[in-house]
Structure 1
């Protein structure tokens, strides 16, 4: 089997086990690597308004990872991400609710379509600055396999609504 590059979005707006924000994202990255997923690059940490706009919840901390998915197909990688979310106390009670950890496959290689229930690229990524800003930071020339636009162009096309700002480099491994 061959390896495939995967873009994984990370987000959090609630503490877990006394850890919050960028430190929690770093712990999740380490967990992903402990599951045998080779993380190649990490964006900086971005802080963004809760989604959707007007939601009465804390700001989010977001980042994007480029990972080598190895021989995992989208379903297998998705299963790894869901297991990590559960270990971090993630409960899926309501859409767009607060969360200790959210991990999503944004894109995987040049795959486009539905893969055993996993839609790739992520169907709403082009609408979300909190995904596009970290992607454009790492790979501004990445091209959406269906829309044909680069990450930088997709980000520039978004209305300047919803605050997002880069707040730090991605933290080093926490051990």
Structure 2
């Protein structure tokens, strides 16, 4: 007895071009672009922070007072390089997740929900710390530009998150689930 395969001669759809995916609903598509924009704004915020080399070296000097100037410069350069790679990776990850979500993948919607929710909560916490003056007591210096970037990413994330869960788009994720269906069953031991 042969085991059933997903596609091959005699299977429906074999040899035929793959059916194009239907376009996502307007709100889901907008949510996708808001997630990607949020990631780009977050990366820009990160780059602005990394561009202040003097502040990076001062922070390194405060944390590692025994380092010489050459070591501080090398550590700052390494930190900036790592930061740029991390920023690019995050933008690519968000773009991948947002595109999968727009394609109807519920798991991507859940991952974006967790990431976006955590980002919003962290942003609100950071705003409270800065506004209350608690951050200044511990030497945390946050520039107004960083605050504006933080507010922008929180708003983008909140709107993108809301758009993914509008009742009018729920069918997009259910339809994708029913199209893929469960995997075929295979007889054991035969």
The structure with the largest strand share of the pair is 1
**Higher RCO by CA contacts (8 Å cutoff, separation 6 or greater):** 2
| TM-score of the superposed pair, with normalisation by structure 2 | 0.22
Bigger Rg over Cα: 2
